[in-house]
Amino acid sequence: MNTFILIRLIGFSSSVFVTPQAVVWLESYFSKPTCSLQLPDHLWSWVKHQVTGFTKNPDLPKACLPLRIEQAGKQLVIRLVVEQPRVQYLLLLEEQTLPLLNSLELLGLSQRETEVLFCVMQGRDNKAIALQLSVHKSTVRKHLESIYCKLGVQSRTEAIAQALEKLGFLHSLPLS
Q: Which domains does the chain have, with CATH numbers?
A: 5-97 (3.30.450), 99-166 (1.10.10.10)
Summarize the confidence of residues 54-75 as an average pLDDT: 71
More confident residue, 9 or 133: 133
pLDDT at 144 over 90: yes
Q: What is the mean pLDDT of the chain?
A: 78
pLDDT at 54 over 90: no
pLDDT at 166 over 70: yes
Strands 15-18 and 74-84: unpaired
> Percent of the chain beyond pLDDT 70?
70
